[in-house]
Structure 1
Amino acid sequence: MKNLLKPIKSISWGAMCLLVLFSCQQKKSNDAKSAHVIIYGGTSAAVTAAVEVVQSGKTVLVISPDRHLGGLSSGGLGFTDTGDKSTIGGLSREFYHRVWQHYNDSSAWEWEKHSEYGNKGQGTVAMDGENRTMWIFEPHVAEQVFEDFISENKISVLRDEWLDRENGVTVEDGKIVSIKTLSGKVFKGKVFIDATYEGDLMEAAGVSFHVGREACSIYNEEWNGVQTEVFHHGHHFKSKIDPYVMPGDSASGLLFGISSEKPGENCSGDNKLQAYCFRLCMSNHPDNRVPFPKPDNYDPKNYELLARVFDTGWREWFNKFDMIPNRKTDTNNHGPFSSDFIGMNYDYPEASYERRKEIIKEHEDYQKGLFYFVANDERVPAEIRSEMQNWGLAKDEFADNGNWPHQLYIREARRMIGEYVITEKDVLGKRVVPSPVGMGSYTMDSHNVQRYVTDEGFVQNEGDIGVHPHHPYQISYGSIVPKEEECTNLLVAAAVSSSHIAYGSIRMEPVFMILGQSAAAAAVMAIEKNLAVQQVPYNELESILLSKGQKLRLEQK
């Protein structure tokens, strides 16, 4: 005993206290937080999923890599891609109802009178008084609605927590047991929901996925894969424009943004993605605009191709400055050379966090430089330049980020290969969809994927596809669950199981909210019945979803 006591006697009381304190802190940091359902992501789908879990009587933790909730819905996409709004139900519709309530208050109209607002939406009126919904809104209004959802339902959200994608997902017997973030926090649950645009949790759990465009032959589709000389939206070069730095001299090199690679054979698959951009919230109110900032690495030569487009007489620059309340815009890509940073995102889905930050910064610098160029450069027609100087970033939006959106538009990243793969056959109504948990209706919409030099020696874009469904279509439960042999307690609400071209319709914010709620309802049922998510009885799930106001078919009794 004396020998055992000697080391203790040699430690001071202060050191001993520190040792005990350190030991307690270590134990505390290693203790896992737990809930019935763990949701990873901060998107609109994450919020509706969390609300559904709590309202169904189960506990939930939202582990969000983002500080701001809502993804693109609160990140600049205020001119909602509604499609057929009759297909939008449940908590998704509740979101747009709360937006409507906000703008019915006169105090919401700070920078213009309500009567001055044009009330134009995308395929619908902006403010639909008959259905008590509003589809067009400012970013901060959307974020407040999401925060209200969280606070009213007393939902615990841990922000700025990033999944350890290398070693942070523990899977045993086909089930996720826990996830760990880079800060060292561990979270245990019975069912997990991946609500990220990137599908990071599903990938780390070993679930199958696809990145890029499938060949048409994979799912017997017409509009997948490479689609050269197909121009559905007009976002292509309508005039013959020389692609070289010194016109006519190929030895001078290609202008910025043009690939030297051939585009590939039509209908062939590749690992390329439709372009990303920021949806900018601009203002033309003198008291609420900030001049477009000039990036530190600004180079006007990067926008020479746009100058050559202007030289052809093209004047559509302001066509997608879509108006939202209070003299602001949701500004989207339009034309052959615009805010889409074509070809600069291919490695994003599987890139490290560090590389993703670089890609996001590259997109930010490109887009800031683009708008600075149009507002200031003498290569821009005087009438365009003069009008552009009336615009700036909205001073009262994204105040903690230099008035710049906090979310890049990740139009497509990983897509799960699950129990059921949605293809253009589903979107176009060419086959019966089993076990629907929501509906979609928007155009199969792909932005441009690559910019290349044609055989004739001119610049052209490729990948801009827009094919309209004949009717709204159903989204199968099998598209939000992995194959049963891969994982039995995971649901995927945004990176759903779909072909590239079908995802072009599904990837709309109202649909993500719909699928978030349906995924959560299924998660609760799987817990209560102690079943794999793939084995949830659909007839019972259907009844629950209908009782929550979800729209599952065109005509409901």
Structure 2
Amino acid sequence: MRQAEVVVYGATSAGVCAAVAAARRGLDTVLLEPGRHAGGMTSGGLGYTDVGDARVLGGMAAEFRQAVADAYGVAPGHYAGPEPHVAEEIFLSWLERAGVEVVFGAPLGAVVTSGERIVSVGEHAAGVFVDAGYEGDLLAAAGVSYRVGREDRSLHGETFAGRREVVPGMHNFPPWISPFRADGTLLPQVADGPMAEVGAGDGGVMSYGYRVCMTTAPDRIPFERRPGYDEEHWELGRRLFRHWREQGVEPRAGRLVGLEPNLPHGKCDGNSLGPFSLSVLDRSAWAYPDADAAGRERIRLHHLHHAQDLLYFLSHDPEVPAAVRAELSRWGLPADEFADTGHLPHQLYVREARRMLGDRHLTEHDLLQGRLHPDVIAMGSYHLDIREVQRTWREVYEHPDPVPMVVTEGYLSVGVAPYPIPYGAIVPRREECSNLVVPVCVSASHVAFSSIRMEVQYQMLGHAAGLAAAQAAGSGKGVQDVDVTALQEELRAAGQVLSL
């Protein structure tokens, strides 16, 4: 059994920051990562960094931003973000310099608890643990309460909770597109079964996908037909393009997958834009948070194949407008990115999985009203950003018979002013676990989490989690008994912004 002072599970950007922060304090720190890479989405395809109000960017998030600038010899913020491999190089250099022991290929082992404390995870014991994974697997295994998916609007009195109205918008499907084949069976990529009532909780999570790094460089890897490519799987896309053609709409390739060269060296971060995108909307992600390893792998491959096949479809299918195919043919996968995963990202974009029910539970009211929290450890500022939750169908009551139509539901974007994130939102209830800190699957409602979930926030919360873990490990006290005033002083000294 390896005995450490702090064990961090998950080498996301939050996990890296937590481990480095604890190690810089001189604590013996181990970082366990199930995969083979460090950085999570920051190095796994999400090159374009969603910042919000840059004034709240501090601590290790600002340190990372400066490291990116130094890597390219530019001013901070000059680029929307780093190339994926540069992001990972920065994180690995931090870990090495801080003396963190990093163990790759380390899936969550048996979690042993005693009373309200975690004793060990697999072959690693520690005084304090940090769950920095996107899924919240350690907190769940430790018996900490959590919630998955959308809550009912009545639970917290949130205006934006629960199932959303189906309304027009750039991410929603246009009307009149049938979800059915000629034989009456449902098309692929459309979820079946009724939607919950508007405002009702249905457990639906924001859609997942892959953020694909692309380039126009001469050595790019072309978008090729995967051996398992299914022509019929893309009939819905063909119907969408036919509809646009009939309506005189000329879609641009850049508005389908985000072909803006917003990263260094002319690379772009392919995003999920519009009603038919890199996001998978067939409700398959809903099962992911609580699925076992085999179930998650099936869902991951489903999403990976969707990304591969969408890029091939958009660049080769004759029903796709010629201008879109021509533009996509200029792009491909970078030869110098993700070499060990076929040049596609190593990280599935898990926008939302488990969310802890902790000491303090943030809701939309905290964010929209800018409620003050005396135990603030970081600030958020990104808008409420709920990505599409499902693509399904409904009957629209037209004369003389109802007409079935494809609909997309769930998208929401609401601006917020900078708001404080309290320490209580990253620690469990005392009676459930006294030596665990959770900087990713924070205690927040589905609506509030949609703003907190950005990578820069994870970096700042990871920083705070690492320092809190170090303080708790050093004192032998529970994480709920951390001296928050001392923690805030330490964070401020490291450049964390706790108020404007």
Q: Please classify the TM superposition score into its range, dividing by the shorter chain length.
A: over 0.9
Q: Which residue in 2 is equivalent to 1:355?
A: 295
- Aligned-pair CA distance for 1:133: 6.8
Conserved 8 A contact 2:370-2:420: no
Conserved 8 A contact 2:252-2:324: no
Q: Which residue in 1 is equivalent to 2:194?
A: 262
Q: What is the one-letter code of the residue matched to 2:328? A: M
Q: Which residue in 2 is equivalent to 1:304?
A: 235
- Aligned-pair CA distance for 1:178: 0.8
User: Are 1:395 and 2:364 matched, yes or no?
Assistant: no
Query: Matches of residues 124-203 of structure 1 in structure 2 within 5 Å?
Result: 129=75, 134-164=79-109, 168-180=110-122, 186-203=123-140
Return 5+ residue gaps in structure 2 as ranges: 397-403
Conserved 8 A contact 1:317-1:334: no
Distance 1:330 1:265 in 2: 35
Distance 1:358 1:506 in 2: 28
1:357/1:132 Cα in 2 relative to 1: closer, same or farther (>3 Å)?
closer
- Aligned-pair CA distance for 1:132: 7.2
Q: Which residue in 2 is equivalent to 1:337?
A: 276
- Aligned-pair CA distance for 1:191: 0.4
- Aligned-pair CA distance for 1:219: 1.1
- Aligned-pair CA distance for 1:230: 4.0
Q: Which residue in 2 is equivalent to 1:282?
A: 214
Normalising by structure 1, we get a TM-score of 0.85
Conserved 8 A contact 2:253-2:327: no
Return 5+ residue gaps in structure 1 as ranges: 1-31, 105-126, 181-185
Query: Matches of residues 473-512 of structure 1 in structure 2 within 5 Å?
Result: 473-512=419-458
User: Are 1:368 and 2:308 matched, yes or no?
Assistant: yes
Query: Matches of residues 33-432 of structure 1 in structure 2 within 5 Å?
Result: 33-104=2-73, 129=75, 134-164=79-109, 168-180=110-122, 186-230=123-167, 234-246=170-182, 251-285=183-217, 287-311=218-242, 312=244, 313-319=249-255, 320-323=258-261, 324-342=263-281, 343-429=283-369, 431-432=371-372
User: In terms of mean alpha carbon deviation, does 310-319 or 384-393 score higher?
Assistant: 310-319
User: In terms of mean alpha carbon deviation, does 91-100 or 297-306 score higher?
Assistant: 297-306
Q: Which has the larger radius of gyration?
A: 1
- Aligned-pair CA distance for 1:290: 0.6
Q: Which residue in 1 is equivalent to 2:401?
A: none
Distance 1:403 1:263 in 2: 37
Distance 1:487 1:222 in 2: 32
- Aligned-pair CA distance for 1:255: 1.4
- Aligned-pair CA distance for 1:454: 2.3
Normalising by structure 2, we get a TM-score of 0.94
Secondary structure in structure 1 of the residue aligned to 2:344 = coil
Distance 1:133 1:238 in 2: 37
Q: CA RMSD in A?
A: 1.4
Tell me the alpha carbon deviations over residues 70-101 of structure 1, each in whole angstroms, 9 at most, x when there is no partner: 00000011111011111111111111101101
Distance 1:70 1:389 in 2: 30
Conserved 8 A contact 1:427-1:502: yes
Higher relative contact order (CA 8 A, sep 6+): 2
User: Are 1:459 and 2:406 matched, yes or no?
Assistant: yes
- Aligned-pair CA distance for 1:314: 4.7
- Aligned-pair CA distance for 1:238: 2.8
Distance 2:375 2:116 in 1: 23
Secondary structure in structure 1 of the residue aligned to 2:171 = coil
Tell me the alpha carbon deviations over residues 18-51 of structure 1, each in whole angstroms, 9 at most, x when there is no partner: xxxxxxxxxxxxxx10111010111001111111
- Aligned-pair CA distance for 1:240: 2.4
Secondary structure in structure 2 of the residue aligned to 1:150 = helix
Distance 1:434 1:200 in 2: 29
Distance 1:358 1:172 in 2: 34
Tell me the alpha carbon deviations over residues 446-503 of structure 1, each in whole angstroms, 9 at most, x when there is no partner: 111111212212111000111110x101101111000001000000011111101111
Matched-pair identity in %: 39
- Aligned-pair CA distance for 1:362: 0.8
